[in-house]
Amino acid sequence: MANKVSLIVFLEGNKILLQERKDFSRFGEEWAFFGGQIEDEETPEQALKREIREELDFELKEFKMFKKYVHKMKEDHITEKNIFTAKFPGFDKIKLKEGSGMKLFTLDEAKKLKLMPHDIEIIEDLSNLFKQKIK
């Protein structure tokens, strides 16, 4: 069984925005990227726009594909994560509609959080992206 999701990494300088999920954690995670399930006949981009509208009451217009990951969650369960990046619009432009909260974290801070399984790999790849931007 394959589960396909689209997730956004909002970038603000050397920080990323994460959603607090303690109230509805599925795998023991307390923080995660915003986004969610790709519905039938949706592209990853369409799903991302819909999810961000639902979760943050924000019309996502400018974003780009970062990387696609395939993770084996259980023996018969595979998750495909389509990760996109976008500039963080600011707390004044978004309204939290899903989750317990949201906060900007440095990548080092994010690595210490209880994240979704395999999200540390995404954080590591973001570290490489940040290093490239500094050069």
Would you say domain 2-134 falls under CATH 3.90.79.10?
A: yes
Q: Are 6 and 48 in contact (CB under 8 A)?
A: yes
- pLDDT at residue 135, as a whole number: 47
10-residue block means of pLDDT along the chain (135 residues)?
Answer: 90 95 83 95 98 98 96 80 97 95 96 89 89 63
Q: Give the phi and the psi of residue 68 in degrees, each rounded to 5.
A: -110, 135
Domain ranges of the chain: 2-134
Q: Report the first-to-last Cα separation within the chain, whole angstroms.
A: 41
- pLDDT at residue 22, as a whole number: 84
Q: Residue 114 carries which side chain, given as an amino acid letter?
A: K
CA 86 – CA 70 distance, rounded (Å): 21
